[in-house]
Amino acid sequence: MAVRARFGVWWRMLRPFTLVASVAPVLGGTALAYAHGGFHTGRFLAFLLAAVLIQSATNMFNEYFDYVRGLDTRDHVGIAGTIVRDGVSPRVVITLAWMFLATAVALGLYISATSSWWVFAVGLACLGVAFLYSGGPLPLSSTPFGELAAGFTMGPVMILLVYYTQTLRVTATALWVAVPIGILIGAILLANNIRDIEADRAGGRHTLPIVLGRGAAVGVLAGSFVLAYAIAVGLVATGRLTPWALLILLSLPKAWPPVRLFLREREPVRLHPAVKGVAQLLAGFGGLMTLGLLLSVWV
């Protein structure tokens, strides 16, 4: 049991439910490339692992810097807090974060050497955003731009990079497919910040829900869901995506429960399922989009 408990601590430190934000763009971008006649197994596997490592490192940077700034407490809701609750050394957390990033850089060298060195340059910029999300003198996570930075970097930028490394070209369709996935990635952070609005306000942060107000932020969350699905359906209607992509509509029932929970509850401990619900929505949307793109080739 001790080994299992220790493994659980390390697993929680990676914040596993958030890793869908790194997996979904890689799978979606690769499936679109495959549908357009491009696929390279080595680059796909390297990109998938690098994306997960970068997301995990970002989570650990967040864990470390929130601890350093005194923003994490034993009573903090969510799966963060392995330092304050589980006794993991802050030095271990930050060291692991840098090791994960270093491994991702090595994978990036392989990807770039077999595709284009522009990929490495853009990838380094993404690593900078990953660090600045929690680190630096003014972390993006403490501003109203955290959702935008994460959604743009892990949506359009990552999907275009994935698509390019598979096809060695960039298309408007790839960009458009990336937008709804990026919107839903940003929505995960928005949901997290709505849940933590009072704790963030007490910590001196100025997140988007604090700037907009809680009610407006919940409205933006619901609107982001509508926009993501509307863009995807529009891509099918205009012929940019196969009708198989309409499989994403099977995930639509997952959109309402998180919004309903935010409308009904205000206690952070009761709202954590809503944050997970948004991550599950992205998983369903991204997974069904990937399946639809693959079926357009296989069927």
User: What are the residue ranges spanned by the domains of the chain?
Assistant: 17-294
Tokens of 39: 């696929």
Report pLDDT for 136.
Answer: 80
pLDDT at 103 > cutoff 70: yes
Which overall architecture, per CATH, does domain 17-294 show? Orthogonal Bundle (1.10)
Task: Identify residue 81 by its one-letter amino acid code.
Answer: G
Q: What is the pLDDT of residues 236-293, one digit of tens each?
A: 999 999 999 999 999 999 999 999 999 999 999 899 999 999 999 999 999 999 999 9
Residues 281 and 257 sit within 8 Å (Cβ to Cβ): no
pLDDT bracket for residue 4 (50, 70, 90):
low
Nearest to 195 by CA among 104, 107, 271: 271
Contacts of residue 68, defined as CB under 8 A and 6 or more positions apart, other chains included, come to 90
Q: What is the pLDDT of residues 193-202, one digit of tens each?
A: 999 999 899 8
pLDDT at 78 > cutoff 60: no
